[in-house]
Amino acid sequence: MLNPVTFVLQEKPHKCQLCSKSFPTPGDLKSHMYVHNGSWPFKCHVCSRGFSKQTNLKNHLFLHTGDKPHSCNLCNKKFALACNLRAHLKTHDGETTGEECLQCGAACGPLTGGGVCSGCLQSPAGPASAPTPEPAPCDDISVV
């Protein structure tokens, strides 16, 4: 993802001849031209709305299907788009899932796929494996 400051200062040499709007890449200008000519390459089969990119059409289809594949592990609220889940997670700042981090043992949240909290994951040493349990005492110890 681009840094917002970098994006604002980015050069935009590709100018639309119809409305004078400028774009950083020729592809962005090409996508913009669909606004003027109306010949969208990707159309919704339900409502006929047009899109310049297939990804945008895919995301739009969630409106019609009601599918919400991204869920919050703290409150179970569901979202159609991962970006909306990421924004939602910020509302839970400091809340925990009640799960214990395999590294530090604290009730942290949310945990990564490896069961490690973000604090341990970002430590200079990096994520470590769970502590090794002590070996069980042997039942049959014979002295030779």
- The ranges assigned to domains in the chain are 8-65, 68-94, 98-128
Q: What is the pLDDT of residues 71-111, one digit of tens each?
A: 888 888 999 988 898 888 888 876 666 667 777 776 666 66
pLDDT of residue 124: 56
Return the closest-CA partner of residue 45 out of 30, 68, 63: 63
Read off the DSSP letter of residue 117. Answer: B
Which of 81-90, 113-122, 128-137 is predicted with the least confidence, judged by mean pLDDT? 128-137
Q: What is the largest CA-CA distance in the chain?
A: 94
Lookup result for tokens 């341990």? 120
Q: What is the pLDDT of residues 7-38, one digit of tens each?
A: 556 789 999 999 989 999 999 999 889 889 88
Q: How confident is the model at residue 58 (pLDDT cuts 50, 70, 90)?
A: very high
If you write DSSP's letter for every residue of 23-57 in order, what string do you get? Answer: ESSHHHHHHHHHHHH---SEE-TTT--EESSHHHH
The CATH class of 8-65 is alpha beta
pLDDT of residue 143: 41
Return the closest-CA partner of residue 115 out of 133, 132, 97: 97
